[in-house]
Amino acid sequence: MIAAGHAPFPQSLGRGPFSPMIFSIFMVIVVLREPESRILVHAARGDGVFDRQGSRKYLNSAERRAYLQAIKSEPDLARKAFCLTLFYTGCRISEALNLTAERIDLAGKAIVFETLKRRRRGYFRAVPIPGSLAALLTQMRGTMSHSGRVWDFSRATGYRLVTHYMAQARVAGGMACPKGLRHGVAVACLAQKIPLPTVQKWLGHARLETTAIYLDVSGEEERDLAKRLWAASEKS
């Protein structure tokens, strides 16, 4: 389906030996050097930052701050580090639980995740972490086996831990879950003008257009953009 306002696919491009390649290029149009250095990607897919009821699927900046504040009350170092790893890296909960001690680079302040949502295993990505999380993981080092997993609890326990602190932070709705944290990291990255390919790498997306869905922000993030437009209009 072609979005409103865009020209239909030229019939002439559907012919000839190179038509599959041309069609693929047409499906994803990347426009560089837009105002504010934004990248606009038109992807032929139904994913987005809203669910079928129109509710937001990501944590906004206020909810992220509240969640971070709630985590600080966790007395258990391992559980606290787990929640902070999801918060700062945007990794999938299964990727965090699959993490081994040997893939934590404390000197370089980075975590190397195996990207699990691929057809084949063996795809890895390094994601930077703040010094505070690196220090917390350093404190945990004595309890980690070099080749064993960092967190030995189940996916269900990890999920309940995240939703517990969502409730403590008074975050309610479809975004109050590990995926909401992941979506929130992506939106926060783009709000800080981190390049789209970098966000793609950090999140472990195979395709750039998957990352581009986070350009469709709402609420406080979109309002900040609108404020810049209003301010520019008042100056003219």
- For 163, the token pair is 């939703």
Mean pLDDT of 162-185: 96
44 or 64, higher pLDDT: 64
Report the pLDDT value the prediction gives residue 191, as an integer from 0 to 100: 85
- Say yes or no to pLDDT of 11 above 60: no
- For 117, the token pair is 């949502």
- Integer-rounded Cα Rg, in Å, for the chain is 20
1 or 199, higher pLDDT: 199
**Selection from 43, 89, 6 nearest residue 211 by Cα:** 43
Q: For the chain, which domains are there?
A: 1-46 (no CATH), 61-183 (1.10.443.10)
- Could you read off the pLDDT of 83-102 as tens digits, one per residue? 999 999 999 999 999 999 99
**Selection from 29, 37, 22, 32 nearest residue 6 by Cα:** 29
b/e burial code for range 115-145 (CB count within 10 A of at least 16 → b): beeeeeeeeebebebeeebbebbeebeeebe
The two most distant CA atoms of the chain are separated, in Å, by: 65
Please, which pLDDT band fits residue 127 given cuts at 50, 70 and 90?
very high
- Say yes or no to pLDDT of 17 above 50: no
- Say yes or no to pLDDT of 12 above 90: no
Other beta carbons less than 10 A from residue 29's beta carbon:
13
Sequence-ordered list of residues with C-beta below 8 angstroms from that of 88, at least 6 positions apart, any chain: 129, 130, 133, 185
CB-count exposure of residue 191 (10 Å: 0-12, 13-18, 19+): middle
Sequence-ordered list of residues with C-beta below 8 angstroms from that of 21, at least 6 positions apart, any chain: none
Q: How far apart are CA 192 and CA 174, in angstroms?
A: 24
Q: Residue 6: helix, strand or coil by DSSP?
A: coil
Check if the beta carbon of residue 140 is closer than 8 Å to that of residue 85: no
Backbone angles phi, psi at 71, to 5 degrees: -65, -30
| Residue carrying the six token digits 């599959």 | 20
Report the pLDDT value the prediction gives residue 145, as an integer from 0 to 100: 62
Q: What is each CA distance from 49 to 71, 174, 211, 218, 234, in whole angstroms? A: 25, 11, 11, 9, 31
- Cα 157 to its chain centre, rounded Å, is 22
The model's pTM is 0.74
188 or 20, higher pLDDT: 188
